[in-house]
């Protein structure tokens, strides 16, 4: 065993499998090492995988051989005494399936094994203690999702230092299938909440178009993410990503006594519970926010602007955004003026244009506010951006995301819709927000007058949003 080596990491040829030299201090009395030190391991290229359980496998005799087991968690392996010959096989879905890496481990070395990579070892000395940290609690349910391959598989061609015929093996390990008969372990699943809303439907459509496996969809009727009791019914260790599309969006109703409670529950408490759960289980959480967290005094809002919400809805959304900070792996995707498959401003204007074009209807003018300005965000573009952040492993944090294009008022957009639908833009009349709500029968939430979001941050990373006017015309053609 080598003493006083510097901590160092090595690539192995298997994606995510990392080998480490550990710094071991020794003298005539024995030796000491820091087996796991998070800050130092992070600086050496190993992310914090949030271990929750420490296991030790004691092997009384030289030649004990165990494996090859691929488990549904990550683990960090080292040796406390003795030495082993280790073999690791990629058993995940993908082009790396079947790739092998082998090396000898003694107390001066460690290895990080990602979920789905099969692990096996052979004790090279009597009294070998093999230790490992894992980031999920063992359970019989999880054990049933292991993937195995035979230690003696000819295709793997592992050169065991001690012939397997001379080794102590369990009957189960002797009976594992050959590689040709192994079903690869699929990746962790993705949970999409609020799947019945406009964005949830767009996320599902893209996932289906791309043929992505492992996506599961839920709405408040099957999983109420604002109810702590709902969380007990889900095996969170099986998920790698949660995309939260659920929200309370009745902006004016949120100003009522009942609406305020519902709004804070869905937009603040729910995201907080999701963030805590995802933090505990090392899950990436995507959460969609709103420009309503700002007061609209600035012409353009960037990600660094301080919160200054005007309404109950905006306050609850800001609280939800802040709660996300307790989840290390999170994206807050801030957007505005969302248009998708469902009730929205563009569909309403298209229907009103048809009514104005019908003399029998009697509708002559439609009043639309002209002092709220921003850009439309189509849900297919919002969903495309979310997948882009995830696919590219972008840095966690907050990103503005809308369609690109000029800043316009709701009045400007309404005229475009009327003109394209029935060439009757003259039917649209501009009014101020205060005039529009003069005859409102219930409470009216204050709106930010400027909703335009700066797209510089996400554009600099390589995502180029499409122009909202081009997409508006395509959208109108789609709804007829």
Q: What is the pLDDT of residue 403?
A: 97
**pLDDT mean over 184-189:** 90
Phi, psi (rounded to 5 degrees) for 476: -65, -35
> Residues 90-128: pLDDT tens digits?
999 989 999 999 999 999 999 999 999 999 999 999 999
**How far is it, in rounded angstroms, from Cα 333 to Cα 331?**
6
Model confidence at 286: pLDDT above 70: yes
The percentage of the chain sitting over the pLDDT mark of 70, rounded to a whole number, equals 98
Comparing 237-246, 312-321, 359-368, which segment has the lowest mean pLDDT? 359-368
Catalytic-role residue among 10, 25, 50, 69: 69
Cα–Cα distance, 376 to 127 (Å, whole number): 67
Q: Which residues contact 190 (CB under 8 A, 6 or more apart)?
A: 207, 212, 214, 215, 216, 239, 240, 241, 242, 243
Q: What is the pLDDT of residue 79?
A: 96
pLDDT classification of 9: cutoffs 50, 70, 90:
very high
Q: What pTM was computed for the model?
A: 0.81
What pLDDT, on a 0 to 100 scale, did the predictor assign at position 279?
A: 92
Q: What is the pLDDT of residue 142?
A: 66
**pLDDT value of position 1:** 63
User: What's the pLDDT band for 134 if we cut at 50, 70, 90?
Assistant: very high
Find out whether 108 and 24 touch, Cβ atoms under 8 Å.
yes
Instruction: Note if 292 is an active site residue.
Output: no
Q: Is the predicted pLDDT of residue 161 greater than 90, yes or no?
A: yes
CA distance linking residue 260 with residue 279, whole number of Å: 27
Structure confidence by residue, pLDDT tens digits, 246-264: 999 999 999 999 999 999 9
Record the tokens describing residue 459, joined without a space: 């554009």
Q: What is the pLDDT of residue 132?
A: 94
69 given a catalytic annotation: yes
Judge residue 81's burial from the number of C-beta atoms within 10 Å of its C-beta, 0-12 exposed, 13-18 middle, 19 or more buried.
Answer: middle
Query: What pLDDT score does 362 carry?
Result: 74
In the prediction, which pLDDT does 3 show? Answer: 67
The packing angle between helices 468-479 and 345-357, to 10°, is: 60
Of the residues 76, 132, 436, 475, which is catalytic? 132
CA geometry: angle at 406 spanning 400 and 409, to 5°? Answer: 95
Looking at residue 52, its pLDDT comes to 87
What is the model's pLDDT at position 103?
A: 97
High-pLDDT (> 90) share of the chain, %: 79
Q: Which of 74, 29, 26 is nearest to 47 (CA)?
A: 74
* pLDDT at position 351 over 80: yes
| pLDDT, greater one: 6 or 1 | 6
**Tens of pLDDT along 434-471?**
888 887 778 989 999 999 999 999 999 999 999 999 99
Among 44-53, 127-136, 344-353, 379-388, the range scoring the smallest mean pLDDT is: 44-53
Q: How far apart are CA 38 and CA 327, in angstroms?
A: 17
Task: Round to whole Å and give the CA distance between 69 and 55.
Answer: 15
pLDDT at 361 over 80: no
- Residue 30 pLDDT more than 90? no
Which 3 state secondary structure label does DSSP give 40? Answer: helix
SS3 of residue 452 by DSSP:
coil
pLDDT for res 26: 84
What pLDDT does 154 receive?
96
Question: What is the rounded average pLDDT of the residues 405-412?
Answer: 96
CATH numbers and ranges of domains, the chain = 8-181 (2.60.120.10), 189-479 (3.40.50.720)
Q: Is the dihedral of CA 282, 287, 293, 298 positive or negative?
A: positive
pLDDT at 282 over 90: no
């Amino acid at each position: 065993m080598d003493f006083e080596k510097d901590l160092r990491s090595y690539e192995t040829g298997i994606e995510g499998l990392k080998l480490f030299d550990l710094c071991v201090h020794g003298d005539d009395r024995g030796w000491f090492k820091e087996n796991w030190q998070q800050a130092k391991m992070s600086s050496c290229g190993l992310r914090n995988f949030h271990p929750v359980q420490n296991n030790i496998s004691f092997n009384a005799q030289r030649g004990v051989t165990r494996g090859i087991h691929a488990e549904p968690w990550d683990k960090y392996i080292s040796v406390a005494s003795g030495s082993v010959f280790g073999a690791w096989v990629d058993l995940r879905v993908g082009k790396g399936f079947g790739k092998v890496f082998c090396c000898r481990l003694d107390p001066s070395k460690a290895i990080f094994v990602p979920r789905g990579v099969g692990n096996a070892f052979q004790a090279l000395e009597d009294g070998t203690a093999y230790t490992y940290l894992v980031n999920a609690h063992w359970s019989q349910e999880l054990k049933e999702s292991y993937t195995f391959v035979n230690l003696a598989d000819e295709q793997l061609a592992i050169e065991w230092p001690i012939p397997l015929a001379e080794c102590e093996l369990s009957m189960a390990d002797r009976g594992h299938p050959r590689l040709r008969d192994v079903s690869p372990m699929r990746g962790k699943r993705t949970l999409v909440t609020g799947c019945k809303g406009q964005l949830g439907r767009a996320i599902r459509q893209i996932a289906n178009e791309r043929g992505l496996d492992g996506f599961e969809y839920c709405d408040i009727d099957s999983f109420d993410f604002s109810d702590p009791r709902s969380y007990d019914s889900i095996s969170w260790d099986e998920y790698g990503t949660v995309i939260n599309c659920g929200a309370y969006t009745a902006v004016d109703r949120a100003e009522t006594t009942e609406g305020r409670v519902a709004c804070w529950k869905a937009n603040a408490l729910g995201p907080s519970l999701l963030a805590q759960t995802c933090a505990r289980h090392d899950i990436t959480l995507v959460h969609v926010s709103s420009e309503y967290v700002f007061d609209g005094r600035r012409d353009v809002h960037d990600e660094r602007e301080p919160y200054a919400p005007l309404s109950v809805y905006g306050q609850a959304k800001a609280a939800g955004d802040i709660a996300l900070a307790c989840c290390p792996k999170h994206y807050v995707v801030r957007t505005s003026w969302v248009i998708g498959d469902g009730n929205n401003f563009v569909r309403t204007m298209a229907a009103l244009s048809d009514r104005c074009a019908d003399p029998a209807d009697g509708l002559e003018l439609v009043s639309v506010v002209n002092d709220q300005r921003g850009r439309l965000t189509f849900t297919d573009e919002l969903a495309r951006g979310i997948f882009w952040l995830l696919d590219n492993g972008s840095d966690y944090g907050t990103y503005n995301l809308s369609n690109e294009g000029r800043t316009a008022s709701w009045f400007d957009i309404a005229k475009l819709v009327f003109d394209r639908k029935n060439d009757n833009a003259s039917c649209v009349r501009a009014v101020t927000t205060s005039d529009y709500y003069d005859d409102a029968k219930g409470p009216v939430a204050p709106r930010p007058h400027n909703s335009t979001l700066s797209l510089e941050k996400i554009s600099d990373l390589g995502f180029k949003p499409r122009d909202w006017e081009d997409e508006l015309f395509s959208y109108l053609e789609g709804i007829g």
